[in-house]
Structure 1
Amino acid sequence: MTVRHDGLTAEWLGYATLRVAGDDTVVYMDPGRYGVLTGEWEPDEDGVGHPPSRDYRPEDGDVICVTHVHHYDPEGIERVASDDATIVAFEGISGRDVDRDLPPVVDLPYDVVEVGMKESRTVDGVPLWTIPAYNEPGGPHTRPDGTPYHPRGFGCGFLVDVEGTRVLWTGDTDVLPGHKQVDVSLFCPPIGQRFTMNRHEAAALAAVMEPELVLPVHYNTFSTLAADSRAFAADVAQAGIPVVLDES
Structure 2
Amino acid sequence: MTVRHDGLTVDWFGYATVRLETESGFVAYIDPGRYGVLTGGWEPDNPDVGHPEPVDYRAKDGDVVFVTHDHHYDSDAVERVASEDATVVVYEGVTAEKIDRDVKAVDDLPYDVRRIGEEDRLRVGDCEAWSLPAYNEPDGPHTRANGEPYHPNGFGVGFLLSLAETTVFWPGDSDVLTGHRELEVSLFLPPIGGSFTMDRRESANLAEELAPDLVVPIHYNTFSALETDSEAFVEDVERRGVSVALDEE
TM range (shorter): over 0.9
Maintained 8 Å contact 1:130/1:159 = yes
- What's the % identity of the aligned pairs? 58
Taking the aligned partners of 1:139 and 1:46, their CA distance within structure 2 comes to: 31
Taking the aligned partners of 2:105 and 2:155, their CA distance within structure 1 comes to: 16
Let me know the Cα RMSD of the aligned residues. 0.9
Deviation at 1:77, TM superposition (A): 0.5
Maintained 8 Å contact 1:49/1:220 = yes
Deviation at 1:107, TM superposition (A): 1.0
Equivalent residue number for residue 21 of structure 1: 21
Equivalent residue number for residue 6 of structure 1: 6
Matched, 1:214 2:215: yes
Deviation at 1:153, TM superposition (A): 0.5
| CA shift digits 1:24-43 (9 cap, x unpaired) | 31000000001100001111
Taking the aligned partners of 1:66 and 1:180, their CA distance within structure 2 comes to: 22
Taking the aligned partners of 1:61 and 1:98, their CA distance within structure 2 comes to: 24
Maintained 8 Å contact 1:69/1:96 = no
Extract unaligned runs of 5+ from structure 1: none
Taking the aligned partners of 2:130 and 2:50, their CA distance within structure 1 comes to: 30
Equivalent residue number for residue 100 of structure 2: 99
Q: Counterparts in 2 of 1:83-162, with a 5 A limit?
A: 83-162=84-163
Q: Tell me the SS of whatever aligns to 1:76.
A: helix
Equivalent residue number for residue 204 of structure 1: 205
Q: Counterparts in 2 of 1:160-239, with a 5 A limit?
A: 160-239=161-240
Q: Counterparts in 2 of 1:70-89, with a 5 A limit?
A: 70-89=71-90
Taking the aligned partners of 2:99 and 2:64, their CA distance within structure 1 comes to: 27
Maintained 8 Å contact 2:3/2:247 = yes
Taking the aligned partners of 1:46 and 1:158, their CA distance within structure 2 comes to: 31
Taking the aligned partners of 2:157 and 2:230, their CA distance within structure 1 comes to: 24
Corresponding letter in the other structure for 1:235 = D
Extract unaligned runs of 5+ from structure 2: none
Corresponding letter in the other structure for 2:172 = G
Taking the aligned partners of 1:12 and 1:198, their CA distance within structure 2 comes to: 18
Q: Tell me the SS of whatever aligns to 2:78.
A: helix
Q: Tell me the SS of whatever aligns to 2:119.
A: coil
Deviation at 1:80, TM superposition (A): 0.5
Deviation at 1:99, TM superposition (A): 2.1
Taking the aligned partners of 2:68 and 2:146, their CA distance within structure 1 comes to: 25
Maintained 8 Å contact 1:25/1:163 = no
Deviation at 1:98, TM superposition (A): 4.8
Q: Tell me the SS of whatever aligns to 2:77.
A: helix
Maintained 8 Å contact 1:135/1:142 = yes
Taking the aligned partners of 1:38 and 1:87, their CA distance within structure 2 comes to: 20
Taking the aligned partners of 1:46 and 1:104, their CA distance within structure 2 comes to: 34
| CA shift digits 1:106-132 (9 cap, x unpaired) | 110000010011111112231110011
Q: Tell me the SS of whatever aligns to 2:220.
A: coil
Q: Tell me the SS of whatever aligns to 2:98.
A: coil
Maintained 8 Å contact 2:168/2:187 = yes
Taking the aligned partners of 2:221 and 2:101, their CA distance within structure 1 comes to: 22
Question: Which runs of 4 or more aligned residues in structure 1 lie more than 4 Å from their structure 2 counterparts after TM superposition?
Answer: none
* TM-score normalized with structure 2 length: 0.98
Taking the aligned partners of 1:149 and 1:204, their CA distance within structure 2 comes to: 22
